[in-house]
A and B are shown apart, each in its own frame.
Chain A
């Protein structure tokens, strides 16, 4: 098969993305091409991009705050909205090695949220756990922890007073959910799947054709809820149980467009959290519901 020259591929990318974005993406492809260890040539990267594959999967990494995380299809690519509120949360809570805290990230995917918190908070201040149903996500979060040099908890890590991260493979809807974890927690975070069925079909191909539907669809098959809120209902039920969230604990849940008010109500009603607030993302959308125990 004869291959199209790079210039022609790039011209097509310009039509697709506009000249400014196309130029930037080409520059990043060239940079990745120089630094990467696996041999992907520029034409292959451009061809993949033209077929609608997300740039982050092609380059194999994505920035997340000061971290660079690995990205692998189909595990969800960390979003800049998530990056923004995680950085904000890191500033709101300030654990120290004298007053260490434990955190649980539900639906951890690439592990981006707990890994960034472990990176930003002082050494020896944070014990983080991340739960996900997908073996591919758990493998990726383990690789990311290694890349960010955040060890799993052992007595060695304890001795050297490091922050730790432990990924756990589990379905949050399972009845024995708490058995492999060690509640209570000071902080619970989650960016659960939140896209309603009727919006799923309209998603851009780069999302729908390349990222795990299980990471996106807010209502698992058989759920009564069709607004994409099933995970929030269940998470609110889980943290509302006795002995899960410590006094003065904090819950931060990312939500989709237009879901913040409903999720805030769920937290009030199901978890019994009275104090809640809504954070906006940099694009001025209501993005996170934060609850205080």
Chain B
């Protein structure tokens, strides 16, 4: 049996592993270098040659520690590294073509989640007549899902000829993606937790029911929550059960509030430091999928990937997420160095 304390401790150990590994390797390499130095002056020329070869490789390992591995460890461990994610996708300009692209993107994320052994569940969606999705909310459950996917927040733009377009004209449409941290669901629903107090949440049922009770047997399960202090509203109607809809609406509310909290924490830290990390603006156009040129471009880091199919059908999204993470880490490091000066 593992208690919550055991789990926390196991996490801490896991989090410290990279630091430990780097240090062990550094000290080993230095010891080997010490042993190699006298051999550089050995009388045997063959031994001297071997020693000098080893000397070169050891010093390059040490250099890489100084230049890359140690600075990388400076990037403070993410406070959100164990969180699951909730993704909200909304189609923007482009009508039915945007809805079709939204369904395509959703498949990309579901596949990416499967590869990472995260569980996905579509908790709400609105289908369009043409087989697309007007919007969708999907939960991605698993360690690290939020940290990996958070770079997907922003506006995704697609340029392609819609399957329905006879004239072959290229259309531009957009899908807005918001990635939120997914809070663990508390044991008991509808009660105060650290993100909100129940008094601040107004729960409403939607649509009138006339006399109600025995007079009416139509299913009416839609609910809307309003968090009064922030004005956040969440509506949920996908389930036949009002109880379920309420549960899911609370889950979304919790995620939105947690997102606000995380953003605020980051900003608070920044006011004491200088800010080099760009704020993620969710209305910013972050990526373009250009079918005519068979290319995906991420505008934040200027990275282009040829071969669109490898993104839509393969694991191309991983390349982008890796690059975005690297970019973020470098920003953080620069910021820290700027602080020291």
Q: Which residues from chain A contact B204 at a C-beta distance below 8 Å?
A: 282
Instruction: Mark the stretch among B77-85, B95-103, B241-249 that contacts chain A.
Output: B241-249
Interface: B169 (CB within 8 A):
no
Known: A56-B219, A207-B217. A83 touches B238 (CB 8 A): no
Residues of A contacting B218 with CB < 8 Å? 21, 54-55, 204, 206
User: Among the listed A23, A193, A257, which residue makes an inter-chain contact with B212, where contact means beta carbons less than 8 Å apart?
Assistant: A257
Q: Are A56 and B213 in contact (CB under 8 A)?
A: no
A285 in contact with B212 given A25-B219, A206-B217, A206-B218 (CB within 8 Å): yes
> Which segment of A73-81, A141-149, A236-244 sits at the interface?
A73-81
Q: Are B212's CB and A195's CB within 8 A? A: no
Q: Does B315 contact A (CB under 8 A)?
A: no
- The interface size bin for chain B is 20 to 34
Find residues 185-244 in chain B having any chain A CB closer than 8 Å to their own CB.
Answer: 203-205, 208-209, 211-221, 237-244
User: Which residue numbers of B lie inside 8 Å of A, CB to CB?
Assistant: 126-127, 203-205, 208-209, 211-221, 237-244
Of the candidate stretches A60-68, A122-130, A154-162, A174-182, the one touching chain B is A60-68
Question: What separation, in Å, do the CA atoms of A257 and B214 have in the docked complex?
Answer: 10
- A262 interface hit (Cβ, 8 Å): no
Partner of B214, one of A54, A62, A216, A281: A216
Report whether B237 and A203 are in contact in the complex, using a CB–CB cutoff of 8 Å: no
Contact of A193 among B211, B214, B237 (CB under 8 A): B214
Task: Tell me which residues across on chain A come within 8 A of B215, comparing CB atoms.
Answer: 195, 199, 203-204, 207, 256-257
The smallest beta-carbon distance between B147 and chain A, in angstroms, is 32
Cα distance A66–B247 when bound, in Å?
A: 10
**A to B CB contacts below 8 Å, 11 in the list:** A23-B126, A63-B239, A80-B221, A81-B213, A82-B213, A84-B242, A193-B214, A194-B213, A215-B214, A257-B215, A283-B212
**A105 lies within 8 A of chain B by Cβ:** no
On whether A257 and B211 interact (CB within 8 A), knowing A23-B127, A283-B205, the answer reads: yes
A170 located at the interface, meaning its Cβ lies under 8 Å from any Cβ of chain B in the complex = no
Known contacts A23-B127, A283-B205; decide if A256 and B211 are in contact (CB<8 Å).
yes
Using known A-B contacts A66-B243, A80-B221, determine if residue A24 contacts B213 with beta carbons closer than 8 Å.
no
Interface SS majority for chain A: mixed
Complex contact A83–B242 (CB within 8 A): yes
* A54-B208 contact given A24-B238, A28-B240, A65-B243, CB 8 Å threshold: no
Ranked 9 nearest A-B pairs via Cβ: A63-B241, A257-B211, A282-B205, A54-B217, A81-B213, A77-B217, A283-B209, A65-B243, A207-B217
Q: In the complex, what residues of B have CB within 8 A of residue A257's CB?
A: 211-213, 215
Question: With contacts A23-B126, A82-B213, A283-B212 known, what are 19 further pairs, Cβ within 8 A?
Answer: A25-B219, A54-B217, A56-B217, A62-B240, A63-B221, A66-B243, A79-B214, A80-B221, A80-B242, A81-B212, A194-B213, A199-B211, A204-B218, A207-B215, A281-B212, A281-B213, A282-B204, A285-B211, A285-B213
- A17-49 at interface with B (beta carbon < 8 Å): 21, 23-25, 27-28
Give chain A nearest CB distance to B81 CB in angstroms: 32
Q: Which of B213, B219, B237 has the most CB of A within 10 A?
A: B213
Contact of A63 among B209, B214, B216, B240 (CB under 8 A): B240
Least CB distance, B36 to chain A, in whole angstroms: 68
| A contact residues around B220 at 8 Å (CB) | 80
Q: How far is the CA of A254 from the CA of B265 in the complex (A)?
A: 48
A209-239, CB < 8 A from B: 211, 215-216
- A80 surroundings in chain B (CB, below 8 A): 220-221, 242
Task: Tell me the smallest distance from the CB of A43 to a CB of chain B, in Å.
Answer: 18
Tell me the minimal C-beta distance from B129 to chain A in angstroms: 10
Chain A residues lying within 8 Å of B240, measured Cβ to Cβ, are: 28, 62-63
A79 touches B217 (CB 8 A): yes
Residue of B nearest to A66 (CB): B243
